Homo-oligomer: A and B are copies of this chain.
Amino acid sequence: MVTIYDIAAKAGVSAMTVSRVINNTGKISEKTRAKVKRVMEEMNYVPNQTARSLVLQQTKLLFLLITDITNPFYTTLARGAEDAAKKHGYRLLFGNSDESLEKEADYVTTILTTRVDGVLLAPAGDPSLPHLESLRKHNVPFVLLDREVPGMDCDIVLGDSKEGAKRLVEHLAEKGHRQIALVNGSSSISSARLRLQGYKEGLKLNELPFREEFVFETSFGQLGDLSDMTAWLERLDPMPTAILTGNNVLAVEAMRLLRAKGLRVPEDISIVCFDDLGPYSDVDPFLTVAAQQAYQFGYMGMGMLIDRIGERDGSSPWKKVVLPAELLVRRSVKDISSEEG
């Protein structure tokens, strides 16, 4: 491996001079600078970031932990995070916890041993608390995304889940729907709880009754087996005329189920969801959604993280950003307001 000493020797200067040329620090005469640069070119020298990290006590490495790499919300978020990281000269390490606490624990270990300078993460849920405490104990700055964890004060970027869900219910009500079911993620996840709350408020606002059995709670990740959800749906009487899902993945799963049962969207049943489908928004049935600003989640979160890292000791108060969700009306909802209830 070509080291800074090899360059120094060949250029007839000290290692320190080479270091100064590399980092543009201190005063260097143009002549030596030119010579050193030429030798570096000749020898294909590349600085060793590992050695640099050791002495600088920083890796210039950040970590982004998401819960579902196949979900366009998170991949779009990842782009935002990546762009912001690059802008500030950081490199980014990705991880995918798959909504699993065990995998999340593994990644926390990786994060700790890798000595990354900071972490941006969507926690698997409330039980993630010990993981966050571990980061805090080891002085690893972090910013939470999308989900709050009770008991942990920290920087965070959230979507307005309650308001978004409420709007979706209102939209359905305006179109004449009175039997609205909810397929939601686990109640151990703050965003799922808020979406349930928004759903309830939306119902109340339209003087529709809340019925426990119209809510199906499952995981926000891909389900694979749909038998539980199928059984739930078949138990309902009357059948809902519309389904609201707590995120985009569940919307796709719901559509998969409906297809299996031979039901068309929106002719036979309407469907709306939280989160947009990214590139797939334009595919039939062209879903009506409460779209979150996925890219901004990543971009702003990363900005907050880098700000936090930049702080000396004096910790400024925790920041909490709430991004509104936008209702995008497409054509997965049928207007049944003129029909019989």
User: Which positions in A face B, CB cutoff 8 Å?
Assistant: 1, 44, 46-51, 53-54, 57, 59, 69-70, 72, 75-76, 78-79, 82, 86, 91-94, 96, 106, 110, 112-115, 137-138, 222, 249, 252, 255-256, 259, 265, 277-280, 282-286
Is B282's CB under 8 angstroms from A283's CB? no
Q: List the number of copies, as a whole number.
A: 2
Cβ of A137 to closest chain B Cβ, rounded Å: 6
CA distance A50 to B44 in the complex (A): 23
- Taking A49-B114, A75-B75, A252-B280 as known contacts, 8 extra A-B pairs with beta carbons closer than 8 A to each other, sorted by chain A number, are A50-B115, A70-B76, A79-B96, A91-B110, A91-B114, A256-B282, A280-B280, A280-B283
Query: Could you list 15 examples of A-B contacts with CB < 8 Å?
Result: A48-B54, A50-B50, A50-B53, A51-B54, A69-B78, A69-B79, A70-B278, A70-B279, A91-B110, A91-B114, A92-B94, A252-B279, A252-B282, A265-B284, A280-B283
A279-B222 contact in complex given A53-B50, A78-B69, C-beta closer than 8 Å: yes
CA distance A280 to B44 in the complex (A): 46
Residues of B within 8 A of A96 (CB): 78-79, 82
CA distance A112 to B1 in the complex (A): 12
Is B50's CB under 8 angstroms from A249's CB? no
CA distance A225 to B43 in the complex (A): 44
Residues of B within 8 A of A79 (CB): 69-70, 96
Residues of B within 8 A of A222 (CB): 279
Residues of B within 8 A of A72 (CB): 70
CA distance A112 to B44 in the complex (A): 11
CA distance A282 to B44 in the complex (A): 50
CA distance A110 to B59 in the complex (A): 12
- CB contact between A138 and one of B44, B82, B277, B278 (< 8 Å): that residue: B44
Q: Which residue of B lies closest to A264 (CB)?
A: B284
- CB contact between A48 and one of B75, B76, B113 (< 8 Å): that residue: B113
Residues of B within 8 A of A284 (CB): 265, 283-285
Residues of B within 8 A of A69 (CB): 75, 78-79
- 4 smallest CB-CB distances across A and B, nearest first, come from A284-B284, A94-B94, A256-B282, A49-B113
* A82, A277, A279 pick with most chain B CB within 10 angstroms: A279
